[in-house]
Amino acid sequence: MIKIAPSLLASDFTRLAEEVKTIDNADMLHLDIMDGHFVPNLTFGPGIISALRDKTDLVFDTHLMISNPEDYIEEYAEAGSDYITFHIEATNHSHRLIQRIKESGCKAGVSLNPGTSLKEIELILPDLDMVLIMSVNPGFGGQKYIPQITEKIARLNSMIEELNNDVAIAVDGGIKLHNVSEVIEAGADIIIAGSAIFGSENPYEMIKKFRAAGE
Ligand X SMILES: O=C(CO)[C@H](O)[C@H](O)COP(=O)(O)O
| Among residues 69, 139, 187, 203, the one that binds ligand X under rule CB under 6 A | 139
- Min CB(18)–Fe ion separation in Å: 21
E strands within 115-189? 130-134, 168-172
Q: Among Fe ion, ligand X, none, what does residue 189 contact (CB within 5–8 Å per kind)?
A: none
| Among residues 133, 196, 206, 207, the one that binds ligand X under rule CB under 6 A | 196
Stretch that binds Fe ion, among 49-57, 58-66, 92-100, 174-182 (CB under 5 A): 58-66
Find out whether 141 is annotated in a ligand binding site. yes
Contact positions with Fe ion (CB under 5 A) in 151-210: 172
Contacts of 211 (CB under 8 A, 6+ apart): 2, 4
Rounded distance, CA 90 to CA 74, Å?
17
Instruction: Please report, in angstroms and rounded to a whole number, the separation of the first and last CA atoms in the chain.
Output: 8
Positions marked catalytic? 32, 172
Q: Residue 99's closest CA among 119, 59, 62, 128?
A: 128
Sheet architecture: strand order including 130-134: 3-6, 190-193, 168-172, 130-134, 107-112, 83-87, 59-65, 28-34
Binding residues for ligand X, total number by CB under 6 A: 23
| Cβ closest to ligand X, residue 37 vs residue 95 | 37
Rounded distance, CA 61 to CA 58, Å?
9
- Min CB(161)–ligand X separation in Å: 26
Rounded distance, CA 15 to CA 12, Å?
6
- Min CB(124)–ligand X separation in Å: 21
Q: Does 129 bind Fe ion (CB under 5 A)?
A: no
E strands within the chain? 3-6, 28-34, 59-65, 83-87, 107-112, 130-134, 168-172, 190-193
Q: Does 192 bind ligand X (CB under 6 A)?
A: yes
Q: Name the residues that contact ligand X, by CB under 6 A.
A: 7, 9-10, 30, 32, 63, 65, 136, 138-143, 172-175, 192-196
Pick out the residues of the known binding site. 7, 30, 32, 63, 139-142, 172-174, 194-195
Pick out the residues of the known binding site for a divalent metal cation. 30, 32, 63, 172
